Amino acid sequence: MSREHCHLNHRLIRRFVRRNNMGLVMKFRIFSTTAFAAISSAVHLSAVAQSAAPSEDRRLEVVTVTTQKQSQNQIDVPINISVTSQDTIDMLGAEDLEDLANFIPGLQVQAQSLNAPSYAMRGVVSDGGAPRVALFQNGVAIGTPGYATNVAIFDMERVEVVKGPQATLFGQGALVGGINFIQNRASTSGNSAKIALEGGDYNFMRAEGFYNAALTDTLAVRLSAQIKNIDGYVPNTANSPDLMGQDTTALRAAVHWEPTSSITADIFLNYQEDDSTGTQFTSGFFPVNGVVDPFGATAMNINADQVRDKLGNDRELFAATANVEMRLNDAWTLTLLTDYRDLASSEAWDSDGYAANLLQFYQSREGEAFSQEVRLNFDDGGKLSAFFGANYFDYETRDVLNFSTDEAYAQSLFGPQLAAGAGLTMAQVRGILAQAGVPGAENFGNFDTPLQYSVLGGLLLGQLIPLNSAHLERSSTSDGRTSYDLFGDVTFDVTDRLAVTGGLRYTVNELSASSVGELVRGNAALGGAINGVTLAPGFLISAATLNNLVSATAEPDGAFTWRLNAAYRVSDNVNTWLAYGRGRRPEVLSFSGAASSVVDAETLDNVEAGVSGRFFDDRVQLTSSVYYGQYKNFQTSRFDPIDGVFLIENSGNATQYGFEFDGQAIVSDNVRLLATYAHNYSQYDDEDENGNALQFAGNQFRISPENSFSVAADITYDVAGKGMLSIVPSYVWKGHHFFEDDNGFDYAADGNGGFVRVRETYPDGTAVVEEQDAYGISSLRIAFDGANERWGIYAQGENIFDEEYLIDVGNTGGAFGLHTIIRGKPKMFKAGVYLKF
């Protein structure tokens, strides 16, 4: 299971900023120089474009976005924003957000599990609790990542990805950016329909389609659906199907109604059901088929205490959204945005990747979220435009987590700690047990044939106590947050070219959480009240919560977030901007045993300069920016195997800066190029604000490659007037990165206010490698679309050279020294056909 699963080159940069030798002034000079260079380049391109006579007829489409709570051309928005339409998504073969993120600079998505996604924007990860990357569907905050993981991407109008703190626009979850999934609305322009069928490797099958019915001039309904199935591509030698398979059924309905010329109402209903075969957790320690191979088979088993008949997750998502816009007069518009969504899931996973009952987990989760926004927009065509509003948001999740283990295997795992606790070595313990006549004493610490009797029972109690093969404990937790927001955003056109925008949001949060533990099945030889390994009630549940419901609430003080943007229009086709914003991740309730504490809010102050332009008569388009940000009170989570809980902690301050580019160009009537590049430097500072050494000082943020890029070409040929042949090669490259913020080390206090780093190891002393070297993935799509654009066929290959790469190392097993590994997708081929009506 992944880290939030229920709850288990630097040379080039350092030439720019040497943290111990440069102050903030030098950093700002570098930032300003880079920004000036970017803007100057844009001005030069604009000048060339004015004199360049286009020789081709093909043009790039104008992109419309609603990022600033109104419909605008993308070039008019003084924010770094990447926009992808459904046509582009299909062309790139990006069936989910994980694939699409490869073509969005600054975004990394690790959707290894339905319940535990990781979204990294500019190196900062949002993977549990309050999000750092705000997730929206049809303009409504989804809430936490678990409510939005693997939302099916089909029948979409577009996906907008906004970078940098956007709390004024998206709320406090947009610490470092936001993602908005915008599906197609029902249209009154006429009836239309489409169906598509696709098949491929690993018994892949996808069927999807939509039907839009214009019932009257003012009323329309749109229905769409997707069924997608794929078998697991990671062989599993244990008693559960191959891993990384999934079945998905998604249903959508949209209603559009215009009862009067001044009132528009849209309703969206979404239902999605998923059934996965589980996330691959291949052991980096236990061999399978005689070898440890992250790209080979795994051995993940399931037992009766994990409830399901196979590993994986059953999940249901439902969402209902209503958006009503009322034109009050020529200047004012009132918007009412209401949303309800719920989540139910049931998941089983094996955290050790070993065909034994060692670290077996099951979790059920239920949750609901509700939000209501009221907003007034003002625009009378003059120099001033604005919006003001209020938002109410409430969510609650309830989790039940089972942990089951065979005590004999657990004793082998915890053997070194048990021996050390008695002041002995493992060999000395074996000798003492042998002298006492304990059968199998020589197997203490062995995983193949583990000792079947309690070591502590023999050492401390002098008894021969059989170990329990079916230990079971359970924890039940809840987590809730209610937020009240007031916000406003004003734009003033100082001149025809210069516009200034200021936004402010005030947020108050109410937090709640609870936890209770239960020992369901203890060691019978010890009265069922404790386990035979540690002689404590449970391995993971805290003794303080055993049969004792502990709960806490908190109402932290309200806080402000803001943005200030200045946009200068170089020409009709080039817009430049300078922005400063404050982002905020709210306070968190954290439990340690029965004690609770409020972890301070995390903040980001970010300065950014950018340019967006269309050149050469709309045949070249780009968005680019440079940014610099400082984090305070950066929140991190870790699993505490002593108390059996995830702890949220303040890990200090951090710094990030970088550069992003997103562009496309019509090279000729037959060739369109798309390219992205991101350079990101995200690292923990050496000290906090009080001068205290930070544990992760100098570490890079996890799943944050310093450099990444993508390139794709859309090459088309007219085939004798019968239709259009298109060839789309693409390549995605990601630089070296780590999978954990600890960068593969354990930490201990050095007695002088600092920390000593020790390389993490497996039980046999082998070093753990929690990082991935640079790699590239090549894909190819070939399609033919009929001349009437009513039918088409296509074939595509993903990762056609079968590049082997990892997407994670560590996971829940890492908390116990049994790090597990998740591989990336192997080579896959698919083919499909579509019809339009």
Judged by average pLDDT, the poorest of 178-182, 578-582, 661-665, 833-837 is 178-182
Q: Is the pLDDT of residue 118 over 80?
A: no
Which comes out higher in pLDDT, residue 640 or 131? 131
The answer to whether residues 226 and 250 touch, using CB atoms and an 8 Å cutoff, is yes
What digits encode the pLDDT tens for the residues 780-819? 999 999 988 899 999 999 999 999 999 999 888 888 889 9
CA dist list (Å): 290 to 128, 495, 630, 818: 36, 73, 48, 17
pLDDT band at 143 (very low <50, low <70, confident <90, very high): low
pLDDT band at 287 (very low <50, low <70, confident <90, very high): very high
DSSP letters for 244-268 = S-EEEEEEEEEEEEEEETTEEEEEE
Distance CA 140, CA 170 (A): 9
Tell the residue number behind the tokens 């009513």, with chain if given. 790
Distance CA 306, CA 304 (A): 5
- Amino acid identity, position 816: F
Helices (H), 131-217: 167-170
673: nearest Cα among 661, 690, 689: 661
Confidence at residue 632, expressed as pLDDT on a 0 to 100 scale? 85
Q: Is the pLDDT of residue 450 over 50?
A: yes
Distance of alpha carbon 64 from the chain centroid: 25
Question: Rg of the Cα trace of the chain?
Answer: 28
Confidence at residue 46, expressed as pLDDT on a 0 to 100 scale? 37
- Amino acid identity, position 399: D
Confidence at residue 36, expressed as pLDDT on a 0 to 100 scale? 38
- Amino acid identity, position 467: L
The contacts of residue 304 (CB under 8 Å, 6+ apart) are none
586: Cα within 13 Å, side-chain hemisphere: 31
pLDDT band at 637 (very low <50, low <70, confident <90, very high): low
Q: Is the pLDDT of residue 552 over 80?
A: yes
For residues 250-258, give the mean pLDDT: 97
For residues 299-308, give the mean pLDDT: 95
345: nearest Cα among 248, 250, 277, 273: 273
Sign of CA dihedral 800, 801, 804, 806: negative
Give me the residues paired with residue 196 across strands: 208, 834
pLDDT band at 129 (very low <50, low <70, confident <90, very high): low
SS3 224: strand
Distance CA 136, CA 142 (A): 5
Distance CA 418, CA 411 (A): 8
The contacts of residue 113 (CB under 8 Å, 6+ apart) are 1, 2, 5, 149, 276, 279, 313, 347
Distance CA 268, CA 277 (A): 30
Angle at alpha carbon of residue 123, lines to 814 and 819, rounded to 5°: 10
For residues 643-667, give the mean pLDDT: 79
> Average pLDDT over the chain, rounded to whole?
86
DSSP letters for 467-506 = PPTTEEEEEEEEEEEEEEEEEEEEEEESSSSEEEEEEEEE
Confidence at residue 177, expressed as pLDDT on a 0 to 100 scale? 80
Q: Strands of 494-573 (E only): list them.
A: 498-521, 550-554, 559-571
Distance of alpha carbon 358 from the chain centroid: 28
For the chain, give the number of residues. Answer: 837
pLDDT band at 130 (very low <50, low <70, confident <90, very high): low
Sign of CA dihedral 530, 531, 536, 541: negative
For residues 455-473, give the mean pLDDT: 91
Q: Is the pLDDT of residue 641 over 60?
A: no
Distance of alpha carbon 184 from the chain centroid: 24
The answer to whether residues 270 and 252 touch, using CB atoms and an 8 Å cutoff, is yes
pLDDT band at 647 (very low <50, low <70, confident <90, very high): low
For residues 282-305, give the mean pLDDT: 94
Distance CA 287, CA 617 (A): 60
Looking at residue 123, the DSSP 8-state letter turns out to be: T
Tell the residue number behind the tokens 């880079």, with chain if given. 34
SS3 47: helix
For residues 415-421, give the mean pLDDT: 90
The contacts of residue 705 (CB under 8 Å, 6+ apart) are 108, 680, 734, 735, 736, 737, 774
- Amino acid identity, position 515: S
Confidence at residue 749, expressed as pLDDT on a 0 to 100 scale? 77
The contacts of residue 24 (CB under 8 Å, 6+ apart) are none
Q: Identify the burial level of 331 via C-beta atoms within 10 angstroms of its C-beta, where 0-12 means exposed, 13-18 middle and 19 or more buried.
A: middle
For residues 553-567, give the mean pLDDT: 92
Confidence at residue 576, expressed as pLDDT on a 0 to 100 scale? 95
CA dist list (Å): 239 to 86, 148, 311, 820: 40, 30, 9, 19
What digits encode the pLDDT tens for the residues 327-383? 999 999 999 999 999 999 999 999 999 999 999 999 999 999 999 999 999 999 999
Q: What is the dihedral of CA 824, 638, 359, 464, to 10 degrees?
A: 150
Structure tokens at 305: 């205490």
Distance CA 421, CA 412 (A): 15
Confidence at residue 137, expressed as pLDDT on a 0 to 100 scale? 85
Which comes out higher in pLDDT, residue 57 or 412? 412
Contacts 24+ apart (CB under 8 A), 598-603: 598/511, 598/554, 598/556, 599/633, 599/635, 599/648, 599/649, 599/650, 600/633, 600/650, 601/556, 601/559, 601/633, 602/132, 602/175, 602/631, 602/632, 602/633, 602/634, 602/635, 603/631, 603/632, 603/633
Give me the residues paired with residue 620 across strands: 615, 665
pLDDT band at 111 (very low <50, low <70, confident <90, very high): confident
Looking at residue 238, the DSSP 8-state letter turns out to be: S
Q: Identify the burial level of 289 via C-beta atoms within 10 angstroms of its C-beta, where 0-12 means exposed, 13-18 middle and 19 or more buried.
A: exposed
Distance CA 441, CA 306 (A): 31
Cβ neighbour number for residue 343 with a 10 Å cutoff: 25
Structure tokens at 753: 């206010």
The contacts of residue 700 (CB under 8 Å, 6+ apart) are 123, 682, 683, 706, 737, 738, 743
Distance CA 281, CA 780 (A): 29
The answer to whether residues 2 and 360 touch, using CB atoms and an 8 Å cutoff, is no
Sign of CA dihedral 410, 415, 417, 419: positive
310: Cα within 13 Å, side-chain hemisphere: 17
Which comes out higher in pLDDT, residue 623 or 755? 623
Distance CA 611, CA 592 (A): 47
119: nearest Cα among 92, 155, 145, 158: 145
Distance CA 96, CA 159 (A): 11
